[in-house]
Amino acid sequence: MRQRYDNVTKFVTTEYAEPFVELILKYPNATVLENLATEQITLKARETDSTLKVQFPDEVAILHNEVQAYNSQEPMPLRIAGYNGFLIREHKLNVYSSVLYLHPSASRNDPGFYE
């Protein structure tokens, strides 16, 4: 049964993409540039520098830490977003991330937040 609804939804969102965007986001006159592939391959292994399950006064959460000595080839906000998505899905808990930069130039391309 679920597959039937998936097929209908995929048809509507691809064939009527711009009206769908306006309906969902309440943003008129948006232009859909491209229908992207829906399959997401997740075989790429990633390893964090430190991942801790922590009991805070008001919640149990994940504390994810990265230690960076040099500029990251991949922008740090994108790396953190990737780690956080996996950690949230894996542990079903809030994730708090930090990056410890060991050299002043290591953070020069990091805006300090995800845009």
Q: What is the mean pLDDT of the chain?
A: 82
pLDDT at 113 over 80: no
What's the pLDDT band for 30 if we cut at 50, 70, 90?
confident
What's the pLDDT band for 68 if we cut at 50, 70, 90?
confident
User: Are the beta carbons of 111 and 75 closer than 8 angstroms?
Assistant: no
Do 95 and 66 share a structural domain?
Answer: yes
Average pLDDT over residues 98-111: 78
DSSP-assigned letter for residue 103: S
Do 10 and 61 share a structural domain?
Answer: no
Do 28 and 54 share a structural domain?
Answer: no
Domain that holds residue 16: 1-36
Q: How far apart are CA 108 and CA 56, in angstroms?
A: 32
User: Are the beta carbons of 103 and 69 closer than 8 angstroms?
Assistant: yes
Do 103 and 57 share a structural domain?
Answer: yes
- The share of the chain scoring above pLDDT 90, in percent, equals 23
Greater confidence (38 vs 53) lies with 53
Do 46 and 6 share a structural domain?
Answer: no
Average pLDDT over residues 32-60: 81
Q: How many structural domains is the chain composed of? A: 2
Grouping H, G, I as helix, E, B as strand and the rest as coil, residue 41 is coil
Do 46 and 23 share a structural domain?
Answer: no
Do 65 and 31 share a structural domain?
Answer: no
Q: Record the pTM.
A: 0.65
Q: How far apart are CA 75 and CA 111, in angstroms?
A: 9
Average pLDDT over residues 67-73: 80
Do 45 and 29 share a structural domain?
Answer: no
**∠ CA(68), CA(69), CA(74), 5° rounding?**
55
Do 55 and 29 share a structural domain?
Answer: no
Do 25 and 57 share a structural domain?
Answer: no
Grouping H, G, I as helix, E, B as strand and the rest as coil, residue 84 is helix
Q: How far apart are CA 63 and CA 86, in angstroms?
A: 13
Do 58 and 18 share a structural domain?
Answer: no
Do 109 and 59 share a structural domain?
Answer: yes
pLDDT at residue 41, rounded to an integer: 67
Average pLDDT over residues 39-54: 80
Q: How far apart are CA 67 and CA 47, in angstroms?
A: 12
**pLDDT tens per residue, range 74-87:** 888 888 999 999 99
**∠ CA(9), CA(4), CA(42), 5° rounding?**
70
